[in-house]
Amino acid sequence: MTSDKVAIVGTGLIGSSIAMGAIRAGYEVTGWDAAPGVAERAVEAAGLRAVASLQEAAQGADLVVVSTPIPTIPTLAVDALRAAPGAVVTDAGSIKATIHREVEALAPPAALPRFVGGHPMGGSERSGPEHASASIVDGAVWVLTPGPSSDLSAVERLESFVERLGAVPVRMDPERHDRLVAFVSHLPQVASTALMGLAATEEASEPEILLLAAGGFRDLTRLAASNPLLWSDILLANREAVVEAIDLYVGRLERLRDLVAGGHAAEVRDAFAAAKAARLALAAKPQVRAGVAVLQIQVPDLPGALAQLTGALAEASVNIEDLQIVHSPEGGRGAVHLTVAAPEAEDAAAVLAGHGFDPTRLA
């Protein structure tokens, strides 16, 4: 970006998180939200300057980010293109092809070169500016989906902004983006929601079922706590790709069911082994994917316990590639699953043992 004025239209979780990252990077940030009181909460949470209208927010801006529910994005993006004739306008919606088509249909042709679709691949099952954090976009992949009319200079200006926030810009065709996120973002939400709904239904006849819910169930159903209206809009806007993903997933479940029903032990083990190998590769950055190790460490549910564990590894210069916490249903303790580069596994285990922990290598 050639200067430092950013407008955020829609100051919920993602909008406020982008605002926090932009403020940290030295940008002057204004924000507007159509919902009463939300922009004021974003002032307290993110530190942006709230204004009374989209037009006031966009005035003099070099970049406008529209971060609102999907059905409202095209109209607001066009309003921003009109209100800020020198600004690049982008959005943070999780589907892209529909948004591009609607913006192209509504916007003045002369303004279209300044619109570049975007999707920061970060988020949370929580909502609202009070849950915002710059860490949501820090280090995240931020997909940029230029349309046929997008000017190269506008794309490059947006890439510069994304990099300055500490995110990783990736250019992608809008239709390809929508198909890929159907598998890695939208399908997990569907699976989590369906599993939680099934367990809740079973609770009617087995009231104690959720008392037995351990870490795996809690991890898999975390997304079921997401905003229902938001996800309804997303799934319906990307319905063709989502239906394709669900059908393929159902096919995988049916094949695994048939292997279990038929008592095919070797094939079941092979299916689990292949999935495990793929998940371990996903858990690490590309430069260490050739070999990672997972350590399980029991930790007490006490203030500072996790900091002690991570601090010990930091002192030994052992980098953590991934970290997950599995809470015990009984309370009072939990298990930390640490992923480290395979060559560092032995050193990591020794360091942790020296600090009173008892690590077990899982992979």
Asked whether residue 247 falls in the same domain as residue 227, the answer is yes
pLDDT, position 139: 84
Let me know the angle formed at the C-alpha of 148 by 144 and 153, rounded to the nearest 5 degrees. 60
93 vs 186: CA distance, rounded Å: 13
Q: Which of the listed residues 151, 172, 193 is the one where a domain comes to its end?
A: 172
Asked whether residue 225 falls in the same domain as residue 352, the answer is no
Q: Helix, strand, or coil here: 117?
A: strand
Asked whether residue 46 falls in the same domain as residue 127, the answer is yes
Asked whether residue 26 falls in the same domain as residue 72, the answer is yes
| Position 345 in a domain | yes
| Position 111 in a domain | yes
The whole domain housing 329 covers 283-361
Q: pLDDT in tens for each of the 363 residues of the chain?
A: 445 899 999 999 999 999 999 999 999 999 999 999 999 999 999 999 999 999 999 999 999 999 999 999 999 999 999 999 999 999 999 999 999 999 999 999 999 999 999 999 987 767 789 988 888 888 889 999 999 999 999 999 999 999 999 999 999 999 999 999 999 999 999 999 999 999 999 888 888 888 787 777 888 888 898 889 889 999 999 999 999 999 999 999 999 999 999 999 999 999 999 998 888 776 555 544 447 788 889 888 788 888 999 999 998 899 888 887 766 554 556 788 888 888 888 999 999 999 999 998 876
What's at 61, amino acid-wise? A
16: nearest Cα among 123, 94, 142, 121: 123
Cα–chain-centroid distance for residue 278? 19
Asked whether residue 45 falls in the same domain as residue 115, the answer is yes
Cα–chain-centroid distance for residue 141? 9
SS3 percent helix, strand, coil of the chain, rounded to 5, is 55, 15, 30
340 vs 321: CA distance, rounded Å: 5
Asked whether residue 188 falls in the same domain as residue 52, the answer is no
pLDDT, position 11: 96
pLDDT, position 286: 52
Structural domain tally of the chain?
3
Asked whether residue 15 falls in the same domain as residue 133, the answer is yes
| Position 273 in a domain | no
What single string gives the DSSP state of each residue in 249-307?
HHHHHHHHHHHHHTT-HHHHHHHHHHHHHHHHHHTS-GGGTT-EEEEEEEEESSTTHHH
Does residue 127 contact residue 227 with C-beta atoms inside 8 Å? yes
Asked whether residue 163 falls in the same domain as residue 30, the answer is yes
Asked whether residue 26 falls in the same domain as residue 138, the answer is yes
Length of the chain: 363
Does residue 325 contact residue 218 with C-beta atoms inside 8 Å? no
pLDDT, position 213: 77
Does residue 19 contact residue 11 with C-beta atoms inside 8 Å? yes
pLDDT, position 340: 86
CATH of the domain at 295: 3.30.70.260
pLDDT, position 79: 98
pLDDT, position 1: 42
Give 312-317's long-range contacts (Cβ < 8 A, gap of 24+): 312/351, 312/352, 312/354, 312/355, 312/357, 313/338, 313/340, 313/348, 313/351, 313/352, 315/351, 316/347, 316/348, 316/351
Asked whether residue 213 falls in the same domain as residue 312, the answer is no
Asked whether residue 158 falls in the same domain as residue 33, the answer is yes
320 vs 337: CA distance, rounded Å: 10
